[in-house]
Chains A and B, each alone.
Chain A
Amino acid sequence: GAVVSQHPSRVICKSGTSVKIECRSLDFQATTMFWYRQFPKQSLMLMATSNEGSKATYEQGVEKDKFLINHASLTLSTLTVTSAHPEDSSFYICSATPSGGVTGELFFGEGSRLTVL
């Protein structure tokens, strides 16, 4: 199956700093990628839809100035958590569907565990 890679898998940062998480589709092109956040024992919550070459679409309640998304190429989307605070500590997961691929089937990255001290 298609492979999605996330980096870093774990990151610890101080409060107030910014953290960038990369999501790459390794063997396919993806015009659209999705960013999810998951708190312990909770469901995945969709944060935003990343669109190649255009602005991301954010879900209600997600601050676009805090969670900056850039989808500069057909294989790379980045999520930058700006001025991170302890409440931003979470598991961030990206997903993608091959352009022209099977309806709905998403391929997920391994996730990035962010801990803000």
Chain B
Amino acid sequence: SQKIEQNSEALNIQEGKTATLTCNYTNYSPAYLQWYRQDPGRGPVFLLLIRENEKEKRKERLKVTFDTTLKQSLFHITASQPADSATYLCALPFSGGYNKLIFGAGTRLAVHP
């Protein structure tokens, strides 16, 4: 079955540094991959979508890479700020399920001043 793995340990970094989060998946070749941000007690918020034929995508301070050979996506936040502290979720579409998403458990990021 499809499986998504994100580092369950919290990532603590200093303000201004680049945060890098990892998403690995198995038993699957998704057409695209997404990243969401979730704050405590709130619903996830869409950040970026990257398709299988795209190696990299950027949006302001965010950068996502997608390596279909390694079955891995990296999510980078440059010049991180305390306001970036949240849980970041990786999501893939269910096999054969248009717009149905399966989510990783998420990685909690804490940016310290």
Contact = CB atoms under 8 A, between A and B. Distances in A.
B89 A44 contact: yes
Nearest to A10: B41
A109 B43 contact: yes
Contacts of B104: 43
Contact of B46 (A34, A46, A91, A107): A107
Count chain A CB atoms within 10 A of each CB in B89, B100, B105 and give the residue with the most.
B100
Contact of A102 (B49, B89, B93): B49
B interface bracket (residues with beta carbon within 8 Å of A): 20 to 34
A105 B46 contact: yes
B79 interface: no
22 contacts: A1-B46, A34-B99, A34-B100, A43-B89, A43-B103, A43-B106, A44-B89, A46-B94, A95-B43, A102-B49, A103-B32, A103-B49, A103-B98, A103-B99, A104-B101, A105-B34, A105-B46, A106-B99, A106-B101, A108-B44, A109-B43, A111-B42
Contacts of A77: none
B102 interface: yes
A71 B32 CA distance: 27
A113 B42 CA distance: 10
A106 B101 CA distance: 9
A102 B43 CA distance: 19
Count chain A CB atoms within 10 A of each CB in B32, B43, B106 and give the residue with the most.
B43
